[in-house]
Structure 1
Amino acid sequence: MNVETVKHAFDHVWNGQDELSVLTFSLNGETFAIEAINVQEILDLLPETRVPGAKPFVAGVINFRGRVIPIADLRRAFGMEATEATIDSRIVVVELTLDGEPCLVGIRTDKVHEVTTLPRSAGEPPPIVGMRWRPDFIHCLVRRGSDFVIIPNLEVIFSTQPARAAA
């Protein structure tokens, strides 16, 4: 991954805007954010049906308004350990464009926090070295107080998972 690719991902998420409206949530103590426009619904945990032979990242499906959608555990994509669900755990249903097609996906979270705006001026591309996660999995990091909010690149995460699973 080169500097231009990282800068392109950063510019893409802001799309020329000075602020980004996001939904923030926690995974293993880290704060993540997804563009609010992509969020369809926030659900309490639902019964999941395991898919035989599926990889841990997307190992099951849920029934969402009569549609079967995959349920993803971003912890696995980021190499975090799985944790048990708590009373605060939620599923965030998002609409993504994968391979040119709209796709609904449920993402397990430890806790959903708020819908807020993040200023572009506080954002920066992820460093190419020194990250514990793949830089292409992150659109940008946004400083908020003394912490960072991580905006994941869901399209890259979901498009690379099948290739990684086949390896």
Structure 2
Amino acid sequence: MFHLTREDPADRWEVEALYDLCFAPGREALSSYRLREGIPPVRDLCRVARDADGILAGAVRFWPVHVGLRGAEALLLGPIAVHPTRQGEGLGAELMEDGLTRARAAGWPRVMLIGDAPYYSRFGFTRLCGVEMPPPTNPDRVLGLGDWAGVTGTVSPWAH
């Protein structure tokens, strides 16, 4: 049993340590991190999962981005991570579903991520044709959920 709560500023370093553990060195060199620089995540959507002893087991963050010349608003989901000792317990799916439910309730029309289509398709994500992440990103890994009709172009940092 896990307890999901909003990520607080005090959680930051513990969450960063989890991301360091779960992802390859140099993760911050990925193009998705360029979209996050200097932009705060959408705090009400960022969640942490703790076990009964209060130990961090997982975390997910959501970041606002713009897509295309018209600047369509979207959320960039990620990173999402589950501690290696807690994987296989459904926590990643729980974090994903909780975050997506909250995003819809907050009025976000679309969510995107960079990931493996066979895994994320179970949450409704499909390949986004015509939406381009800054290089180097494999276009087959650019996935979206929600209302993407007529939205094309390059993903850019939030400019509000």
Band of TM-score, shorter chain: under 0.3
TM-score, scaled relative to structure 2: 0.27
Between structures 1 and 2, the one with greater strand share: 1
TM-score, scaled relative to structure 1: 0.26
